[in-house]
Amino acid sequence: MTKAELFSQIKKKSSFLCVGLDADINKIPKHLLKEKDPIFSFCKEIIEETADFAVAYKPNIAFFEALGTEGWETLQKVLELIPKEIFTIADAKRGDIGNTSKLYAKAFFEKMDFDSVTVAPYMGVDSVTPFLEFDEKWVILLALTSNAGSMDFQLIKDEQGKPLYQTVLEKSQSWGSDENMMYVVGATRGELIGEVRKVVPDHFFLVPGVGAQGGSLSEVAKYGMNSTCGLLVNSSRGIIYASEGTDFAKVARKESEKLQIEMKDLLEKYL
Amino acid sequence: MTKAELFSQIKKKSSFLCVGLDADINKIPKHLLKEKDPIFSFCKEIIEETADFAVAYKPNIAFFEALGTEGWETLQKVLELIPKEIFTIADAKRGDIGNTSKLYAKAFFEKMDFDSVTVAPYMGVDSVTPFLEFDEKWVILLALTSNAGSMDFQLIKDEQGKPLYQTVLEKSQSWGSDENMMYVVGATRGELIGEVRKVVPDHFFLVPGVGAQGGSLSEVAKYGMNSTCGLLVNSSRGIIYASEGTDFAKVARKESEKLQIEMKDLLEKYL
């Protein structure tokens, strides 16, 4: 998918919502466990009910990988369910030396047909660029994550006082462009999103941490939005596990619509 | 596997060789392509011929993942072929927020029965510790890798002049112990292995980069060996692709034996 196509979706739906498919067999409604493939049934209903309000879906690959080969089959089937105009993110946090990263890229971009994959930066340029060699496919590079451990290394300042995440942003900008690279920027620190936006004016950010992890959507929009929106805000648990009953998909619909309405206002305010 | 059991294998075989199973469908001998599962057949012959000289096998997960669900089935079958007394490494470079890392850990330690998995440190403590909660299972944390891109971030000095890889080593030592954590330390910089050894006296290092990538085995042993050897030196291409003919496994045997003989001398010299 191109950046223009993504932005077009955002405008059409007045939404920059990404629904995270953290499909956990221990958390999905119990009535689904009698289905042949409970995770597939769960994702299918979630997608059907939220597709009107979402511009992206982000399957968390670990949740499928943990189920073994059957999990990979389920992931493939789930991916095929997602309407073509919606951006898909393989949240896999991959990254290895060149020939190996190329194989991960093939797994997600050719064997499966994801639009993007999340990649960890620690191994540097040759672990990231193999993912950038595919037309209309995207790398979403970890910059500033929303977990507690993000403080361990990402905020370490170098001899010039520059935090590591900023060096990641600066160096990686020359590896790709805002047409094939995005950044993961956690929502739990509103003002830091503004710092990141100064360094990276044009790129999209994938923003986790809104909702369950405590981030504020209005802060994210205030500090992070740019002229092509530039934001995909992810919500997982707050949508997909909003109800444990047979009404889970309808409740997910309501929760995603609530976010979309809030996003519509923010788009009108800042775009 | 415990550290004592690993060291016992090293002494028994006079070897600290890890054979990297980078089983690439485009590189394996052509005559195998007529087999039902060429990658499995390739790995089977390699393992049978090199098991006398190897104390560890390291399947590169990307090579299996790139083949889709069939690849995961092949990986499971390959893992089952490896003799129980040999240490197994899922070279997967995983790492995500806590609940997700726990699922990756389950995938490699429960769904499959790997002894260890390689993990990327960028997301910090809560992305690593979920892997440490399994008895006799190991995290092998990326510290200083052997690729060109390792220069991009791993060598960045902080305000006290300490390179990032050293902070990774120092902080992560409190997350686990030398009984459940190892470090990836590339061989392409002999003297740097000595620097790492000073910071981490007791942990095992997984050392890539010997052979094809230009690292010297004798330098690695000189700077890196400790009283329990403390080294697993990986060779992939130099062994598994030493011949493209029907004799590939026999040639792999010879190449691994060559390394084992060199390792025997080094163990006698430094242990």
pLDDT at residue A135, as a whole number: 96
Q: Which residue of chain B is at minimal alpha-carbon distance from A208? A: B97
Nearest-Å Rg of the Cα atoms of chain A is: 18
Is residue A192 pLDDT above 90, yes or no?
no
Catalytically annotated residue among A11, A44, A77, A93: A93
Q: Which residues contact B229 (CB under 8 A, 6 or more apart)?
A: B7, B10, B16, B204, B267, B271
Cβ distance of B68 and A72 shorter than 8 Å:
yes
Q: What proportion of chain B, given as a percentage, has pLDDT over 90?
A: 91
Longest dimension (CA), chain B: 58
Structural domains in chain B (count): 1
Residue A131 belongs to domain spanning: 3-270
Q: What proportion of chain B, given as a percentage, has pLDDT over 70?
A: 99
Q: Are B170 and B199 in contact (CB under 8 A)?
A: yes
Is residue B63 pLDDT above 90, yes or no?
yes
- DSSP alpha helices (H): ranges in chain A? 3-13, 38-50, 61-65, 69-81, 98-106, 125-128, 150-153, 164-172, 190-199, 217-224, 237-240, 248-270
Cβ distance of A159 and B154 shorter than 8 Å:
no
Is residue A36 pLDDT above 70, yes or no?
yes
Match 């330390």 to its residue by tokens: B185
Task: Express the helix, strand and coil content of chain A in percent, nearest 5 each.
Answer: 45, 20, 35
Cβ distance of A124 and B152 shorter than 8 Å:
yes
* Cα gap B253→B53, rounded to integer Å: 8
Q: Are strands A116-119 and A87-94 parallel, antiparallel or unpaired?
A: parallel
Hey, what are B262's tokens? 């060199």
Say how many CA atoms lie within 13 Å of B9 toward its Cβ. Answer: 23
User: Which active-site residues of B does the annotation give?
Assistant: 93
* Cα gap A119→B123, rounded to integer Å: 12
Phi, psi of B54 (to 5 degrees): -105, 140
Nearest-Å Rg of the Cα atoms of chain B is: 18
* Cα gap B102→B132, rounded to integer Å: 9
Q: Name the residue facing B149 among A60, A124, A164 (closest C-beta).
A: A124
pLDDT at residue B209, as a whole number: 81
* Cα gap B128→B45, rounded to integer Å: 34
pLDDT at residue B212, as a whole number: 64
CATH number, position A237 = 3.20.20.70
Cβ distance of A145 and B159 shorter than 8 Å:
no
Hey, what are B253's tokens? 């045997």
The pLDDT confidence band at residue A77, using thresholds 50, 70 and 90, is: very high
The overall average pLDDT reported for chain A is 95
Hey, what are A167's tokens? 């060096």
Cβ distance of A152 and B142 shorter than 8 Å:
no
pLDDT at residue A213, as a whole number: 66
Question: How far from the centroid of its chain's Cα atoms is residue B44's Cα?
Answer: 18
Q: Name the residue facing A167 among B120, B127, B156 (closest C-beta).
A: B156
- So what's the ipTM on this one? 0.94
Q: Express each pLDDT in A226-248 by its tens digit.
A: 999 999 999 999 999 999 999 99
Q: Are A230 and A267 in contact (CB under 8 A)?
A: no
A93 is catalytic: yes
The pLDDT confidence band at residue B257, using thresholds 50, 70 and 90, is: very high
Among the residue ranges A3-7, A64-68, A152-156, B170-174, the one predicted with the least confidence is A64-68
Q: Name the residue facing B147 among A97, A150, A164 (closest C-beta).
A: A97
Picking from A27, A100, A102, A165 by the largest number of B CB atoms within 10 A of its own CB, the best residue to mutate is A100
Q: Which residue of chain A is at minimal alpha-carbon distance from B21? A: A100
Match 């299918």 to its residue by tokens: A44
Q: Are A123 and B91 in contact (CB under 8 A)?
A: no
Q: Are A186 and A209 in contact (CB under 8 A)?
A: yes
Three-state secondary structure string covering chain B: CCHHHHHHHHHHHCCCEEEEECCCCCCCCHHHHHCCCHHHHHHHHHHHHHCCCEEEEEEEHHHHHCCCHHHHHHHHHHHHHCCCCCEEEEEEEECCCHHHHHHHHHHHHHHCCCCEEEECCCCCHHHHHHHHHCCCCEEEEEEECCCCCHHHHCCCEECCCCEHHHHHHHHHCCCCCCCCEEEEECCCCHHHHHHHHHHCCCCCEEECCECCCCECHHHHHHHHCECCECEEEEECHHHHCCCCCCCHHHHHHHHHHHHHHHHHHHHHHHC
Four-CA torsion A107, A111, A114, A118, nearest 10 degrees: 0
Question: What is the mean predicted confidence (pLDDT) over A36-47?
Answer: 98
Q: Are A241 and A215 in contact (CB under 8 A)?
A: no
Question: What is the mean predicted confidence (pLDDT) over A117-144?
Answer: 97
Among the residue ranges A55-59, B36-40, B94-98, B200-204, the one predicted with the least confidence is B94-98
Q: Are A256 and A53 in contact (CB under 8 A)?
A: yes
Which of B269, B256, B215 is closest to B17 using CA atoms?
B256
Question: What is the mean predicted confidence (pLDDT) over A196-203?
Answer: 96
